[in-house]
């Protein structure tokens, strides 16, 4: 059976998404959608869906509409996230609510959500429609659950690591896992294999998010693609911060809390001081060990999927390449 690499699939799905006729009247609703989807990104979720499908079937173009659906949904969440976070930039370009206005961001985001469900239904084989839509709608709702937890954590001082891991499972992992499972279901996978790929996606998603937390402190800006210390400056409740608060002695914790409360500070000094506390607690190794734990558990689950090992190589290579950004 012909297997395609992630690069080949990325090129194809990118061209397919670019060719979609998103834009029609009224332009004020659809131009922002074309703008958001034209910003690019890694197209991680559609590629994972296509790689999962390709474990079982060759004709990947048969599910391009479903792959476009998962990418449209993902970008809808980014559009609304940017609005809620009052973010000015996304992938180096002004966010929709900055380029247009807040009402446009709300309504264009709503239209993207509806379009994602249309694309998911389009050409979906009748025998799989119910299962696919069940996975997709449940996943979409769970992402909202995760976003709500994330917002509530902003005003809480007592967030635990377990609560944080559950939040990122919902906000990040379930969409990766859902993409993989939908690809597997459409490829005719057994229930067991589809679930294994879902569970694999959950573990890999947790590893990805923890890696982002880690790289925000210890990454190389040139490799990571964004400035270091952003999470520290906005007191974001990450694995790093929560673990540091849990593991510090009283004096160190008090010092960290002073920085969290500080309103007048030099950004570079805050980043340096908080990073020094993270180093003192041994966070670099704690976080890397946790990342490796989730990554290896994911790979163990992938090994259990009942297809030839050589068929899984493109999927495991793709995930490995994403994990090697700067660790």
| 166-217 tens-digit pLDDT | 999 999 999 999 999 999 999 999 999 999 999 999 999 999 999 999 999 9
Residue 326: what pLDDT?
46
Find, among 99, 103, 93, 97, the residue nearest to 83 by Cα.
Answer: 97
Contact 167, 150 (CB under 8 A): yes
SS3 89: strand
Work out the pLDDT band at 228, boundaries 50, 70, 90.
confident
Contact 256, 232 (CB under 8 A): no
Domains and CATH numbers, the chain: 6-323 (1.10.600.10)
- Residue 252 pLDDT exceeds 50: yes
- Residue 227 pLDDT exceeds 90: no
The residue with tokens 């068929």 is 311
Contact 205, 295 (CB under 8 A): no
Residue 208: what pLDDT?
96
Burial class (CB in 10 A: 0-12, 13-18, 19+), 251: exposed
Average pLDDT, the chain: 95
Q: What's the DSSP call for residue 187?
A: T
Contact 9, 42 (CB under 8 A): no
Q: What's the DSSP call for residue 92?
A: T
Q: What b/e sequence results for 46-57 when a residue is b if at least 16 CB atoms lie within 10 Å of its CB, and e otherwise?
A: bbbbbbbbbbbe
Other beta carbons within 10 angstroms of residue 261's beta carbon come to: 8
3-state helix/strand/coil string of 47-83: HHHHHHHHCCCCCHHHHHHHHHHHHHHHHHHHHHHHH
The per-residue pLDDT for range 54-83, each reduced to its tens digit, is 999 999 999 999 999 999 999 999 999 999
């Amino acid at each position: 059976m012909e297997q395609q690499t992630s690069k080949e699939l990325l090129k194809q799905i990118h061209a397919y998404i670019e060719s979609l006729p998103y834009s029609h009247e009224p332009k004020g609703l659809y131009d922002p959608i074309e703008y958001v989807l034209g910003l690019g990104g890694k197209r991680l979720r559609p590629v994972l869906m296509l790689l999962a499908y390709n474990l079982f079937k060759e004709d990947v173009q048969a599910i391009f509409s479903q792959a476009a659906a998962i990418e449209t949904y993902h970008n809808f969440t980014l559009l609304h996230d940017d609005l809620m976070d009052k973010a000015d930039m996304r992938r180096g370009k002004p966010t929709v609510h900055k380029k247009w206005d807040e009402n446009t961001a709300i309504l264009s985001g709503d239209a993207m959500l509806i379009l994602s469900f249309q694309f998911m239904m389009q050409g979906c084989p009748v025998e799989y429609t119910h299962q696919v839509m069940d996975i997709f709608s449940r996943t979409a709702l769970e992402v909202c659950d995760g976003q709500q937890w994330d917002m509530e954590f902003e005003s809480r001082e007592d967030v635990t690591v377990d609560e944080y891991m559950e939040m990122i499972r919902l906000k990040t992992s379930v969409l990766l896992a859902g993409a993989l499972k939908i690809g597997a279901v459409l490829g005719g996978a057994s229930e067991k294999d589809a679930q294994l790929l879902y569970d694999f996606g959950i573990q890999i998603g947790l590893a990805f998010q923890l890696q982002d937390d880690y790289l925000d402190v210890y990454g190389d800006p040139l490799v990571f693609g964004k400035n270091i210390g952003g999470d520290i400056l906005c007191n974001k409740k990450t694995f790093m911060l929560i673990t540091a608060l849990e593991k510090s002695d009283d004096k160190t914790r008090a010092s960290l809390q002073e920085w969290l409360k500080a309103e007048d500070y030099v950004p570079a000094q805050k980043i340096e001081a908080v990073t020094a506390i993270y180093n003192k607690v041994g966070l670099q190794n704690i976080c890397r060990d946790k990342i490796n734990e989730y990554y290896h558990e994911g790979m163990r689950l992938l090994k259990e999927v009942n297809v030839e090992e050589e068929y899984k190589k493109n999927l495991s290579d793709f995930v490995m390449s994403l994990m090697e950004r700067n660790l």
